[in-house]
Amino acid sequence: MMIESSNLAPRLGIFARVLAALFGGYALAYCFTAFLSVYLPLIRADRVVYASLGCFAVWTAAAIYAFGARSATRAWLVIGGLALLLGLAAFLPAELGARP
């Protein structure tokens, strides 16, 4: 059964959204957790716990957005962009995260 060309674009779009939800969403949750683990004004152990507990809400929200966004491209730009920003802010300041 051939995939007709008129079917291809929407199918690719859905596939891109699935990837955005699964992998982009996890990446965003990961960077969100790292970001809060660095910047929350708490002791180190508590920062990590609260940041981690919230990550599932972020992943869920990202997955919903991946399919609700106006286009798959936009979904990837927003989710990926946010993840990149949070990730850089979390991992660049080398010693800040490790402070007790």
Partner 1 sequence: MSLRQSMAGLHTWGGLLPIWLLFVVIFTGTLACFDKELERWMRPGLQTPGQMQMNADDVRQWLKNNVSEELHAYWMHPPTTREPYWQLGWEEHDSGERGRKLFAPATGEALPDTLGGNFFFSLHYQLHAGTFGMYVVGLAGMFMLVALVSGVIIHRRIFKDFFTLRPNANGQRAWLDGHNLFGVIGLPFHLVMAYTGVAIFVASYMPAGVQVAYQGNPLKFFHEVAGGYHREELEQPGGTPIALERLLADARAQWDGGEVGWISVHHPDDASAVVDIRRRDPSRIGSPQDTLSYDAATGELLNVQQAGTAYRAYIWMAGLHMGQFGGSLVRWLYVALGLAGCGMLIGGLQVWLRKREARGGAGIALVRSLNVAVLGGLPVACLGLLWANRLLPADWAMRQTLEGWSFSLLWLAIAGWALARRGRAGYRPLAWLAAVLALGLPLLNLLLVPQGHLLASIGRGDWALASVDLTLLTIGLLCLLWVRPRTQREARTRLAEVTP
Task: Say how many CA atoms lie within 13 Å of 78 toward its Cβ.
Answer: 17
Residues 6+ apart with CB under 8 A from 20: 62, 66, 72, 75, 76, 79, 80
Least Å distance, CB 5 to partner 1, is 20
CB of 13 to partner 1, least distance (A): 10
**Closest approach of partner 1 to the CB of residue 55, in Å:** 5
Of 8 and 49, which CB lies nearer to partner 1 in the complex structure?
49
Q: List contacts with partner 1 (CB under 8 A).
A: 21, 29-31, 33-34, 37-38, 42-53, 55-57, 59-60, 63-64, 67-68, 90-91, 97-98
